[in-house]
Amino acid sequence: MPRPLRRHLISIDDLTDRDLRWIVQRGAQYAAGECENARPLNDAVVGVLFRKTSTRTRTAFSAGALRLGARLITYGPGDLQENTGETAEDTAAVLSRMLDVLVARTVGSEQELRAYADQQRMAVVNAMSAAEHPTQALTDLTTLVGRFGRVEGLRVLYVGEGNNTASALALALSRFPGTELHLRTPAGYGLEPSYLESARTQTKASGAHIEERHDMADLPQVDVVYTTRWQTTGTVKPDPDWRRIFAPFQVDSAVLAASPGAVFMHDLPAHRGEEVTAEVLDGPDSIAFEQAENKYHSARAVLEWCLHGIPAG
């Protein structure tokens, strides 16, 4: 008997609006403890392949798969025969006959992930590529729902490099009516233009708003202040003087005070004294570690969606 078709998550743009909202709400339900007895992955086999370091994403998907009833196979960066010249397409042809889901963090572009996903027997989840970190954005929106009860109408200030986290966040927030995303990125380190264009296209239908500036003047009042580490995992800055360029984009108490009542978010790992001060990260307005926990809850929602989609009705 043939396996049912699986659903891939390579980019936020792969999701319909309905898919996106369901995954976020389901993640919030897991976070609230509303479906702790759910075992939608009973007897499924999930492969976890990480070619880069990971604390939160790898643990979240591994623990999430086990909690949902799946069995787990883990691969290190040198374990597969791609290292001896086998193509990604041949690797996928083999793995898809044995696995139900492959969660993969790659070294470079999404090309390898797209090759893995060129079949419908095994779901493929992008656990971070160079350009986009879609499961982080789903975690972030799950965190917003848990804190504010909604995504619609929320105002977010993102400070720092326009990296893969920022790309995914822009694609996700732009789907929700009335949201605002204010990107403050250092000159030369802004959001990749194709992602900014795609997000702005989405705002035409949703009524959301996105703007990017390369300074820290005239900060808007927002509900959320968000930053990421300056040295994105696995990357090297081309400019040897990059720390001087980034220095004005540190989130300190003054930045947070510009938005009374705002919460602080960070995708972690954090470097206190660089992108954020310890006073902010460890302060009462920080929900960064709640956000990290939600990676696990959101991962369960993603895995459930990959194998079963949205329930009828």
- pTM score: 0.96
pLDDT recorded at residue 256: 98
CATH of 12-132+294-307, one of 3.40.50.150, 2.40.50.140, 3.40.50.1370, 3.40.50.2300: 3.40.50.1370
> For residue 313, what pLDDT is reported?
66
pLDDT at 4 exceeding the cut of 80: no
The pair of three-digit structure tokens given for residue 124, joined into one six-digit string: 């493929």
Q: Which is it for the CA torsion 7, 12, 16, 21, positive or negative?
A: positive
Residues 6+ positions from 312 with CB-CB distance below 8 Å: none
Q: How far apart are CA 223 and CA 231, in angstroms?
A: 25
pLDDT digits (tens, 9 = 90+) for 6-21: 899 999 999 999 999 9
Fold that domain 136-292 belongs to in CATH: Rossmann fold (3.40.50)
Taking phi over 0 as left and psi of -120 to 50 as alpha, with beta for the rest, 110 belongs to alpha
| Tens digits of residue pLDDT in 197-217 | 999 999 999 999 999 999 999
Instruction: Output the CA–CA distances (angstroms, integers) from residue 135 to 83, 206, 245, in the order listed.
Output: 26, 21, 29
Quick: pLDDT tens for 236-281.
Answer: 788 889 999 999 999 999 999 999 999 999 999 999 999 999 999 9
| pLDDT exceeds 60 at position 2 | no
Non-local (6+) Cβ contacts of 124 within 8 A are 6, 8, 9, 10, 92, 101, 102, 104, 113, 116, 117
Task: Please list, in sequence order, all residues whose beta carbon lies within 8 angstroms of the beta carbon of residue 229, skipping any fewer than 6 positions away.
Answer: 160, 268, 269, 270, 271, 274, 275
The confidence score (pLDDT) of residue 3 equals 62
The residues, ordered by sequence, that sit 6+ positions from 80 with a Cβ below 8 Å of its Cβ are 49, 86, 91
pLDDT of 86 above 60: yes
What pLDDT, on the 0 to 100 scale, is given for residue 1?
42
Is the model's pLDDT at 32 over the cut of 60? yes
For the stretch 94-131, pLDDT in tens is: 999 999 999 999 877 789 999 999 998 999 999 999 99
Query: What is the C-alpha to C-alpha distance for residues 312 and 18, in angstroms, rounded to an integer?
Result: 12
pLDDT score of 297 more than 70? yes
The bridge status of strand 209-213 relative to strand 101-105 is unpaired
Read off the tokens for 247.
């220095």
Domain ranges of the chain: 12-132+294-307, 136-292
Nearest to 161 by CA among 228, 102, 111, 65: 228
pLDDT in tens, 149-186: 999 999 999 999 999 999 999 999 999 999 999 999 99
**Is-same-fold flag (12-132+294-307; 136-292)?**
yes
CA dihedral 138, 142, 144, 150 (to 10 degrees): 110
Burial class (CB in 10 A: 0-12, 13-18, 19+), 107: exposed
Instruction: State residue 305's pLDDT score.
Output: 98
